[in-house]
Chain A
Amino acid sequence: MVTARQVAETVTDPELPQLTLAELGVLREVAERDGRVTVWITPTYSGCPALDAMRDDLVRSLTGAGYAEVDVRVTLSPAWSSDLITGPGRRKLAEAGIAPPGPAPRPAPGPVPLVLGPVRTAACPLCGSPDTEELSEFGAAPCRALRRCRSCREPFDHFKEI
């Protein structure tokens, strides 16, 4: 029998099915004791509407693999960061036409500095050109911004640094 961790690591994200929850850094911990499995996941954003679907997918996969009792819990600390997306996760994002995030700003004590100019850059995942512009900081999902390539003119999603 495969371990509960191995099973949980195969579960994919409901909105980005190219990536597993583990590659996205959302799967935090899998504990197995006497056939009972507890899984901790963490939302990318506080209002992430996909959390229920993630839980149901985890429960379905683990019960399908023979684990009768599965408990999925949500944890918030430490807060999810785009830095948690793994190397393979980043490659898969790019292959899906989504520019992977750059390094996230480090959480620092004290007031958050106000930034008024455009701060992010991202190479076009379609043609590779670094000459791209941000169309909107908020895209099709909370975790994505919308950009456009000035070379090939195609719009594309950018996984935001957070």
Chain B
Amino acid sequence: MTATTVAPPAPAPEKAKPLAPISWKAPIGYGVVGLISLVLFGLLPADGQDSTFVLSTSKDFFTIDPITVPAKVTAIVLSVIALVLAGISWQATRNRRKVGAWLPVVFGIVVVLAFLTWADAGKSSPLPLTGLLQGSLFLAIPLVFGSLAGLLCERSGIINVAIEGQLLAGAFLAAVVASITSSAYVGLVAAPIAGMIVSALLVLFSIRYVVNQIIVGVVLNVLVVGVTSYLFSTVLKADASTFNSPPKLPTIDIPLLSQIPIVGPVLFRQTILVYIMYVVVVLLQIFVFRSRWGLRLRAVGEHPKAADTVGIKVNRTRVRATLLGGAVAGLGGAFFTVAAGLAFGKEMTGGKGFIALAAMILGRWNPVGALAAALLFGFSDNLQVVLGIIGTPIPSQIMLMTPYVVTIFAVAGLVGRVRPPAAEGIPYVK
């Protein structure tokens, strides 16, 4: 779906050309960001200000005292580390070596810490690091489910732009069913069904009637917004106590694990939806890449004709993958209502489905990658909330823009080439 050269018909094999030209985009990118971090967060701010980070919550095994650091020095040290990482990347690029995924991850963490140190410098309120991470994971839930849904569909060759609609449908049905049965868990079971209905329409039109998949996706989004908003304005508003007052999913503390400082409250003091999310990510990572089902799924998405030749039912595989994807996205939709404990509202998903699409691409159609990208977006989302509380010189709108800008850079190939499944978006007609 993204980031391809239009020029050569196929990436030339390594043997044919002795050496491909070195791409300096990555090290230059790291260097520029590192320098900006050094100047903006380290050198420019005034001396003598401190930043405080709160690391633990009251329920932990042992409490870690809030850490107070001199802002300027810390930011300079962190920025220098970032520049060293840029140097490593530069060295690796020159020697045509590949660096692992650790480098961008560590680089990101270091720069973000430098930024946080700068943002909290001289502020009276400490920065709640645990709360920040906990909220990030929370906000990332719909993005993770959405990007996994997109991944399932696209690995099979169906472009799913209707993630937004599937999330919204899931949120709607979860709220209504949970309200009627007064059980958040029943709502959670209903949510995937709504997503599957949207997926069923998607496959009906894109496979049976061979309509352009992006068109169907875009239109289905409008349809779901229309239907849910309409029912919200009529049925749900008329009797909100019966139809639109979903109970909240309880937070489940996992014994022992939830009391580990920092990690515990972030990962193991969440609702069941988050635990389902862990399971889905792990299962998909294994099944997509290590199982017969996954191999067939990817074969259908990469080269349907070859898959068909060996007897794999191409369209049946696609239909199943898309329905499963819809179910996953619908489950993610439950986040907005039963997991967040909110009543359904018009267009309450607010473009999260599109960010999920971006997370999928940034994660290179890979479950763990999608998880990481979704967490990144969740983090920047929550960062803006937290910084809004402690006060920051950066306007919140600019903060909110960041994930989208990052995505554009990502699809433009600045963080490495992303390659979508080859047969994506192309209907298979025997």
A and B: interacting chains? no
- Interface of B with A (CB < 8 Å)? none
